[in-house]
Structure 1
Amino acid sequence: MSQTVFEPWNDPAAKPLIQFKGVTKRFGEFTAIDDQTFDIYEKEFFALLGPSGCGKTTMMRMLAGFEAPTEGTIWLDGQDIAPIPPNKRAVNMMFQSYALFPHLSVWDNIAFGLKRDGMGRDAIGDRVAEMLKLTRLEKFAKRKPHQISGGQRQRVALARSLAKAPKLLLLDEPLGALDAKLRQDTQFELMDIQETTGTTFVIVTHDQEEAMTVASRVAVMDHGRIIQADTPARIYENPNTVYVADFIGDVTIIEGTVTRNGAGYDVAFAEDQPTLHAETDTDLADGSRAALAIRPEKVSISAEKPDDKRNALKGKILDIAYLGNLSTYHVELPNGQIIKAQAANTRRLSRRSFTWEDEVWISWTDTAAVLLEA
C-alpha cells in the first residue's frame, strides 16, 4: 500500500492554517522580525530553528498573543488574530519550564484549564483520561510533579497543553531541560502524539538535530528572517545559502572562482591545487565567486589516488574525531584548506588504515557537493 506523502505546501489548493503577511516586529530601534511572509499548514510539525537572537521566540510570542506585530498581519484559520487576546485564541503554549502547579496532582494539572473553562465534570474526567493515555501517564495520575521524573513532567505539560484541543500548539524549547538520551526518546514521543492528535505543532529550538528529527518542515532563521523553509532532507541536501549549509550539520566550505563546463562548473580555489568540478542547477556567471559545500559523509578517503573521480585532492590527516560508529578525518591541503571526510568504523581500532600525519587522497563525485553563491 503506497503511503501518501504529507506535503500540503506543494498543493496549490491547500489552505494554510497560519499565514504571516508582511510581518515586522520592532522593539524601539531594533528589528526583531523583518517583513516576513510565510504559511504553516494544518497537521504540520513546523520548526523555527536558529541561533539565539534570530527572532524565533518573537515569532512564537506573536502567535501566542504576547506580542503584536508592528506591521503586517497574522491569520489563524482565516481570521486576523491581532484583536483576539491570548486566552481566547485557539492556541496553547508549552513553556520550557513546564510551569506545572506543584501542589496539584498530575490529574488536576491536566484538568486545570478545562475546569477554568467551565467544562462539565464528566467531560473533564473523560478528556483527562484520554490525555493520560495519550502521554502514557495513567499510573502517575495521583502523583505531584515533584514525585515524577523530568521526562514525565514534560509529558504532563504536553497533556495539559493539548487537553483544550487547541488548533495550534506552540512549544518553546520543550526538551531543553532533558538529558541527551531522554531528549531523543521524547522527540519520537512528541512526533507520535502530534500525529495521533493531528494538532498543528510549532516548535522553537536552537538544536538542529531536534528540528531535523521532529519537523515536517524546518524554517532556518537569521536576523529576523527565514532564510529557508523546507523539509529536513531538502535543507540538508539542497541548502539555498552558505549560511544554511553551514548551520545544519557538518560541512566543508571551499570558496573559489567558477567557469561553466558542460552540465556544471569548474571551481578554481587555490593556485597549487587542481580544479574541482560540481554539477548543479544553480546559475552562476563565469568568473564569479562561489562556495562549494560538501558534507563529510560524501567525501572518500584513500591511500592511493582514485582513477574514477575528477574531484581528488592530496593532503595530510591533521585530526581524527572518533565517534564510535564513524570517524571524521580533518585533512589539510597544502594551501591550508581543511576538508572533512567520514568513514565507517567497520574494523577494530588497532586495524584501522589511517592515522595522524598520514598522507591521503580525498575525493568525491561530481554531484556530491552543492554550489552556492559566495
Structure 2
Amino acid sequence: MADAAAQQVFAPWNAPEAKPIIQFRNVTKRFGDFTAIDDLTLDIHEKEFFSLLGPSGCGKTTMMRMLAGFETPTEGTILLDGQDIAPVPPNKRAVNMMFQSYALFPHLSVWDNIAFGLRREGLDKDRIGNRVEEMLRLVQLGKFAQRKPHQISGGQRQRVALARSLAKAPKLLLLDEPLGALDKKLRQETQFELMDIQETTGTTFVIVTHDQEEAMTVSSRVAVMDHGKIVQVDTPDRIYEEPNSVYVADFLGDVNIIRGKASRKDMGADTDHVHIHFAEGQSPLWAATKRDLAEGTEVALAIRPEKVTITRDRPTDRNNAIRGKVHDIAYLGNISTYHVELPGGQIIKAQTANTRRVARRSFTWEDEVWLSFTDTAGAVLVD
C-alpha cells in the first residue's frame, strides 16, 4: 500500500510551470451604472472542479455567462487555453453549459437528448452512436435510453443533462446551480457522482452555487465572491479553517465572532500568540497568530462551534475558558448546538456530537456551563 504522504496531490495552482486553462485579466462588466464584475483577475487550471460561491447578486452568474459567451466584458480579457474568447461566438467555443432546469427536450428520448448536439455537429451515425453509448455508460443510464424525460426521476434527468453537456467533449463545462432542483438527500448523493464523472472525464468543471456545503464537497478550489469581487480563493479546507476576513468566515458555515483588542505586552518573547481583551471583567483570550498587530488593534476571533467544548466544570488544561448559561439548544439529530449567553450578553455557540440518548445528556436550558477552546482553535482577523 502506497504511503499516503507519497501520493500525488492535485494542486496545479501551486506549480510555477502550470498554465491555466481559464484566465480572467482585469475583467469588469457593467450593466448601465451597475458594476457586476469589478476588475477581476483569476486563474482556473485544467481538470479543476472550481466553485464560484456567493450570495445572490455577487457576480458569479455574470462570470459564467461571460465564459459561455452570453455576455461580453466591458473591460479586460478572458482567455481560454491562451485564446481571447471575446470574438468567438458561443456555439464555436470549446465550452458547454448545464442549466439548473436541465433544459431537456421533453419529446425526445434520453438517447436522442444526448445525441442532439452531436447531430448538430454533423457527425456520422456510427460516431454518434458510439459516443452516446459511452455517455450512457458514464452516467449509468443505459437501461433508460429509450425513456422520455418525464418517465425518469429528477436525479436521472440531471445525469442526462450532464451526459448531453459532456457528449461533445468540451474543454470546459459550466454548471449553473446544477443540483438546485433536487431534494437534500439526492443532492448529497449526486455531488459524489458529479465528482466521479469529472475525475473520469478530466473535463474542467466550473460550478456556480450559493450552497456552501455543495461547494465544500465537490471543489478542488472555491472562490468566495462579494459585490463583483473575489474575496478569497483557496481549497475548501483552507477557506473554512483559515478565512482571510470576517465576511468569508461568516459566509462559510457557522461561526462565533468575538471582537476585542489585541495585546502582546504581557506575552514576553512569545510572538506566535496574542491576547484579545474582549469584555470587561473577563480574562483575555489567547490566540495563535503570526500577524503583525499593533498594540490595541481591533480584531475579530472567528471560532467554529465544533471547536468549542462545553463542560460542567472549568477545564484546567486550557488558557481559554469562559463561564456562561445555556440560553438555547438546537437539536439536529447527529449533533446539538448549545447557545450559551456570556455575562455581557453575547451568545457563543458550542457543538457536541450526540453519542448518548437524549435522556442521558449533560446539559439543558439555564444550566451554568464553561466554554473552552485551544489557542489555535480560532482565526485572528482584522476587518
Q: Deviations over 1:345-365 (max 9, x none)?
A: 111111111000000000001
Matched, 1:342 2:346: no
Q: CA deviation at 1:184?
A: 0.5
RMSD across aligned C-alpha pairs, in angstroms? 0.7
User: d(CA) in 1 for partners of 2:214 and 2:337?
Assistant: 22
Q: For structure 2, which runs of at least 5 residues remain unmatched after alignment?
A: none
User: d(CA) in 1 for partners of 2:348 and 2:33?
Assistant: 41
State the partner residue of 2:113.
Answer: 109
State the partner residue of 1:100.
Answer: 104
Matched, 1:278 2:315: no
SS of 1:284's partner is coil
User: d(CA) in 2 for partners of 1:179 and 1:283?
Assistant: 46
SS of 1:127's partner is helix
Q: Deviations over 1:16-75 (max 9, x none)?
A: 000000000000000000001010000000000000000000000000000000000000
User: d(CA) in 1 for partners of 2:40 and 2:259?
Assistant: 30
- Name the aligned partner's letter for residue 341 of structure 1: A
Task: Tell me which stretches of 4 or more aligned residues in structure 1 moved more than 4 Å.
Answer: none
TM-score normalised by length of structure 1: 0.99
State the partner residue of 1:26.
Answer: 30
The farther-off stretch of 341-350 and 169-178 is: 341-350
User: d(CA) in 2 for partners of 1:253 and 1:56?
Assistant: 26
User: d(CA) in 2 for partners of 1:268 and 1:338?
Assistant: 17
User: d(CA) in 1 for partners of 2:60 and 2:47?
Assistant: 20
Matched, 1:306 2:315: yes
Q: Deviations over 1:249-273 (max 9, x none)?
A: 1100011000123221100111122
Q: For structure 1, which runs of at least 5 residues remain unmatched after alignment?
A: none
State the partner residue of 1:296.
Answer: 305
- Name the aligned partner's letter for residue 86 of structure 2: A
Matched, 1:353 2:357: no
User: d(CA) in 2 for partners of 1:285 and 1:66?
Assistant: 48
Q: Deviations over 1:92-121 (max 9, x none)?
A: 000011000111100000000000000110
User: d(CA) in 2 for partners of 1:242 and 1:312?
Assistant: 23
Alignment of 1:38-77 (within 5 A): 38-77=42-81
State the partner residue of 1:332.
Answer: 341
State the partner residue of 2:153.
Answer: 149
Match of 2:167 among 152, 155, 163: 163
Matched, 1:373 2:382: yes
SS of 1:171's partner is strand
- Whether the 8 Å CA contact 1:175–1:183 is kept in 2: the answer is yes
- Whether the 8 Å CA contact 1:250–1:296 is kept in 2: the answer is yes
TM-score normalised by length of structure 2: 0.97
- Whether the 8 Å CA contact 1:264–1:278 is kept in 2: the answer is yes
State the partner residue of 1:182.
Answer: 186
Match of 2:177 among 173, 189, 210: 173
Q: CA deviation at 1:3?
A: 2.2
- Name the aligned partner's letter for residue 323 of structure 2: K
> Equivalent pairs: percent with the same residue?
76
Matched, 1:264 2:273: yes
Q: CA deviation at 1:325?
A: 1.7
The farther-off stretch of 303-312 and 4-13 is: 303-312
State the partner residue of 1:132.
Answer: 136
SS of 2:65's partner is helix
Q: Deviations over 1:122-178 (max 9, x none)?
A: 000000000000000100100111111111000000000000000000000000000
User: d(CA) in 1 for partners of 2:78 and 2:334?
Assistant: 46
How many residue pairs get matched?
Answer: 374
User: d(CA) in 1 for partners of 2:332 and 2:175?
Assistant: 31
SS of 1:165's partner is coil
User: d(CA) in 2 for partners of 1:343 and 1:303?
Assistant: 14
User: d(CA) in 2 for partners of 1:253 and 1:338?
Assistant: 10
State the partner residue of 1:119.
Answer: 123
Q: Deviations over 1:212-231 (max 9, x none)?
A: 00000000000001100100
User: d(CA) in 1 for partners of 2:163 and 2:287?
Assistant: 49
Q: CA deviation at 1:283?
A: 2.4
State the partner residue of 2:89.
Answer: 85
SS of 1:20's partner is strand
